[in-house]
Structure 1
């Protein structure tokens, strides 16, 4: 299934491509992005990897906005201007910063630029990737579908901690996203990722070959 997706993406022919992997918390976006990147490399294309988690606003500025409620997290957590100006737009011209601010250390790495060859594919995972601010930047969009209750259970297994963060912040913010942006309608591919071992491909569109 991953190979099918890799082939559908690279069928566009030569030229840089930007691919987004979106879905609820703990849907498996990061692992899926890694596996997809490897499959694209096996087809002979260089791949760069990035995560939207590395483009959040710094914690030191959290007194300026609400980032802890579900509504606030959805509206304010990510810096979409930097996603575009550091990652997505410069990639199209041959180089980009793959990380703005490390979410754990809060160190700013935006001055570290990585070259992107003419046939490079950028695979970016992250929640809210198909928001209106970013949607036009993607050449291919993949949505990983999991039930909300499974997202919460997996989030607890992965992160531990406070259940309310998952239910009152992440789940609420994702429900706002689904209602406002309808990301499944924007997806070129939809994968039921309920079972990590046996994901099911529900939708697959090929990219039109570039002239």
Structure 2
């Protein structure tokens, strides 16, 4: 394993080039990692480099694909096993975002299915993604579940770094990420692994 330092700008360009080099009608890209790893900001930072390369982008956040509160909190509000097993609506993500971007799909995606704050559907319209378009999905626990992504990025906060960067109100999720790394090993599944324990100074983990 080799770890190489890289600037955020160069990293975004490298990843955009890797995605742009793929030849499919549409592309489905995952940015996987804990919230403390900054997946949302990282995915947002890929939008403009992809658009410069002629790729229209739709952003989807897993915060918009949580399950209703009655299911998320069935075993309490801070149960790590519930967070790992049933917090996110992966079936909904596949149905509303990923399957429509299969080569024989409609190209129409739903940016969000559920609003956790109101605990109801946000009733958004579907967005039609033009051919060569990219959907960027960010959030935790995206790998190892059989979701049909075409390119995957894992933002890695190793060991104690994850605990150190996780805010106190979210530390109850840490056992879920321990389980994820033990059972799924996302750093081995992802196409790109980026070490992000030094904010502003990412490092690419090359196999």
> By the TM > 0.5 criterion, same fold?
yes
> Over aligned residue pairs, what C-alpha RMSD do you find?
2.0
Residue 25 (structure 1) shift: 3.1
The answer to whether structure 1 residue 8 and structure 2 residue 18 are counterparts is: yes
1:1-211 matches, cutoff 5 A: 1-13=11-23, 15-62=25-72, 64=74, 68-92=78-102, 93=105, 94-109=107-122, 112-134=125-147, 137-156=148-167, 163=168, 165-167=169-171, 169-203=172-206
Aligned length: 194
Contact 1:25–1:151 under 8 Å retained in 2 = no
Structure 2 spans left out of the alignment, 5+ residues: 1-10
Check whether the contact 1:55–1:100 (CA below 8 A) recurs between aligned residues. yes
Shift of 1:32: 0.4
**Aligned pair in 2 of structure 1 residues 71, 113: CA closer, same or farther (>3 Å)?**
same
Return the alpha-carbon distance in structure 1 between the equivalents of residues 42 and 115 of structure 2.
21
Provide structure 1 residue ranges, at least 5 long, that are not aligned to the other structure.
157-162, 205-211
> Which SS does the other structure have where 1:171 is aligned?
helix
How many angstroms apart in 2 are the aligned matches of 1:35 and 1:29?
10
Aligned partners of 1:174, 1:151: CA distance in 2, in Å? Answer: 9
TM-score by length of 1: 0.83
